[in-house]
Chain A
């Protein structure tokens, strides 16, 4: 079509819409002219003027019809029709206020909820990451063949290999979250601060400039000695350095090491987690380099033009080479590269998508209900529709009309929904954890969201309008046919509701499993805190073993811990004191040691979680000892060295045999002696929720060698004390601090918490989330119940006469019940079966969020099924009772 022609057509259409009156006037003039010419011709043929005029008029025929046909040709009839239908729709709503309110309310909730959740998802996607060009920044993680879905951080060796051999990255960095002691040069004003130990290339990856001073580069980082540059965060700058503009160059002690402030990050910058307050390029000590610990976060910036897939292939090739060199450390491990946005937001997005699925289903159910309502109304409008059809409306025209009438409720529902969304946005923020590195996420309902709400209203209108329109346009719409359509709708409703219920039930069950997870010890009233001795107070470099540095271990930590153990035990209200080198549960890093069964049972040495514990540890924590005895004060350096193992460890080292009395060795520590197993304990989970069983070994901290390699030597100076109190644990804190001060005034306690808090840190959020999902499932169930009730009453009402006759002829109550409910049972049955099938498919998407529950858990499915069946039965009950009590004489008389 040529542009000139298009322009012409458009001009015509616009004129037809804008000034129809002038077009009509024109048409009249044209026809009048024609009439005149015809009259003149007839006069010329010999008629008198009046005769000619009459003859001409007769010849012209039906002028209004011609005018109308010409008008129809203008091609904009549909617009005025639409306008008319729309207004008629609104008028109809006004006439039936109750049903209008129901429709508007259910739509408002459905559309509002969807708008809010989609707005939240949108906010997550759109939120500006604090780093420039974030699309090229990626997070590098590893995963093992055995568990492809569990992504883990990297080892130092991985990082070294990648940074040396990669061809895909402009810059790559290593990060490790550390909590270190910060103090003045003189050692005063000590506090513990959380930050990141990273490599010099960090800011080449991040490319965020400092707000004050500058960020460090490789040139700033000395290989050894004092003078490490540290970039501090805004909060730390205000708090500790008074917000002074001359802070650059200020020296202080970080972990007893002299460092200086090189720059301050802008306010709000907190990468990769919100509570980080410093970024220090701490050169790796050789111990870290060799450590098998998989704890390092690796971030990198892709070279221009390099894709994720290319980078992943590049690194996987490097990883394969590493695996060939050291199969015990790297065998079976592969690389997974994730865009930084995904890595940071995955924890936020997953629950949001689940929520969105739930509200979308609720909207669907609401639409089905409305469709049923409209169908019932269409039946009452039979005569009107028949009239229109007789006057010449085509089927398409009727469908158009009914669809347009559906827009009115959709529009109202949408408008109310936007209002609800604005309110709901605030509520949603409380439920959803903000993604890392972001201050509290703000969900705003802006123009885009409003447009979204409008679109949803339109789509909903189509969804709930289509069935009644199509059904009603096939004139005449009998009650029976309407009833059949409604039955289909109700079946669909039940199916969708069942899917929703099953999803909610699975999530709830998973949550319950998490919170009731048997941690295998008693976490009640346990006060926990850390006491740490810096390594330069007890570790003296003493050569190397192989490629690892070796240290002489001084007596300071063990002496300190012994005295503290006694002091704490003497405090009032204390029921027991236990200590472990790292926190038992939810510790950030769990160090490991390589352990082998002595006496050559044949199996390879294996890495185990390694804990150094105090005497009476098991008793104090009330760990259920399966066999054997607890570590006691008699287990010292001079007595035979002992060990406690958990079930997974024992099963690996001595499958099927009793581990008590057997000997094992830590193969990666040369000065270790063979140890005898004195106790077997169940697996205490290392993390909540924990995905797989890990072997663990518990050793007395008093039975340790005098020389120790890195990694591991530094752990000898760490102790997390757990004190069981008679009353509220935190009340003991001042007494604990005083006791510590008495023993050694230089020390501080850090990380004060209670075990219960540690175990439950994520629970309240999750619980609130589940409550919301439960509410939506409940709403859908209610709607489904209303739907069933509606259809059963409807069909029962249709058959009133028939039922009356049957009762009169001797039908029992049971027969009547059967009559009314049989159909409902078939419907519900069909819906439930479809819902089960749908749930099996749909809940696969939930697998990641389920703990200890499969997505097809029979018990949960059965429970949801039972619940919905009960609801359906209850919904049928009322109309069935009514039918049973039918008085045949009245029934036969009514029509």
Chain B
């Protein structure tokens, strides 16, 4: 299983934004969902997760709110903003381009 630190910083951003596309989540839930949806392959540790979340928040792609969670404690829930959606589309596109380029190289080389 590749360690989370092997992922590029931009990839973490992409994963977080994509995860938030469906519904707002708090940090723990984002990490769990990434783990589950990737078939237990990718695990984003809190050492990368929270810095990434704050970076995205400071750049205005996501917004945060303190809401009551199921466990009764308040949790900081993140929502994708409209600009964040556009950024997601952009990152998705560059990721697709990158991965197909790598694939092409591997095929031809």
Contact = CB atoms under 8 A, between A and B. Distances in A.
B86 to A, nearest CB: 9
Contacts of B28: 33-34, 37-38
Given A33-B26, A60-B46, A62-B47, A73 B83 contact: no
Given A36-B73, A37-B71, A70 B60 contact: no
A33 B76 contact: yes
Interface residues of B, number: 27
Contact of A31 (B46, B74, B81, B82): B46
A30 interface: yes
Contacts of A27: 50, 54
The size bracket of the interface on A is: 20 to 34
A649 B47 CA distance: 98
A30 B47 CA distance: 13
B26 A61 contact: no
A26 B76 contact: yes
Contact of A73 (B31, B55, B69, B82): B55
A628 interface: no
Chain A: interface secondary structure?
helix
Interface string B34-59: 00000000000111001101110111
Interface string A11-47: 0110000000000001101110110111010000000
B101 to A, nearest CB: 28
A72 B52 CA distance: 11
- Identify which of A2, A34, A69 gathers the most chain B CB atoms within 10 Å of its CB: A34
A5 interface: yes
A75 interface: yes
B73 A31 contact: no
B50 A65 contact: no
A5 B54 contact: no
Contact of A8 (B55, B60, B74): B60
Contacts of B58: 9, 12-13, 73-75
B27 interface: yes
A326 interface: no
Contacts of A126: none
B91 interface: no
A30 B49 CA distance: 12
A66 B47 contact: yes
Interface in B56-108: 57-60, 63, 66, 69, 71, 73-76, 81-83
Contacts of A37: 28, 71
A848 interface: no
Nearest to A67: B50
A73 B51 contact: yes
A30 B76 contact: yes
B47 A4 contact: no
A66 B54 CA distance: 11
A34 B45 CA distance: 11
A5 B46 contact: no
B47 A8 contact: no
A37 B82 CA distance: 29
Nearest to A7: B60
Contacts of A70: 50-51, 53-54
A36 to B, nearest CB: 7
A66 B51 contact: yes
B73 A30 contact: no
A286 B71 CA distance: 110
B51 A34 contact: no
Contacts of B51: 66, 69-70, 72-73
B82 to A, nearest CB: 8
B54 A2 contact: no
A48 B81 CA distance: 40
A39 to B, nearest CB: 11
Contacts of B69: 33
Contacts of B82: 4
Given A61-B46, A66-B47, A70-B51, A33 B73 contact: yes
A27 B53 CA distance: 11
Contacts of B81: 4-5, 8
B54 A73 contact: yes
Nearest to B62: A8
Interface string A582-606: 0000000000000000000000000
B27 A5 contact: no
A34 B47 contact: no
A556 B29 CA distance: 119
B45 A4 contact: no
A26 B57 CA distance: 14
Contacts of A9: 58-60
A33 B75 CA distance: 7
Given A9-B58, A13-B58, A29-B76, 18 more contacts: A2-B83, A4-B60, A5-B60, A30-B76, A33-B27, A33-B73, A33-B74, A33-B75, A34-B46, A36-B71, A36-B73, A37-B28, A60-B46, A62-B47, A66-B50, A69-B50, A70-B50, A74-B58
| Ranked 8 nearest A-B pairs via Cβ | A5-B60, A8-B60, A37-B28, A69-B51, A73-B55, A73-B54, A70-B54, A5-B83
Interface of A: 2, 4-6, 8-9, 12-13, 26-27, 29-31, 33-34, 36-38, 40, 60-62, 65-66, 69-70, 72-75
16 contacts: A8-B60, A8-B81, A12-B58, A12-B60, A27-B54, A30-B27, A31-B46, A33-B69, A33-B76, A37-B71, A61-B46, A61-B47, A65-B47, A66-B50, A70-B53, A74-B58
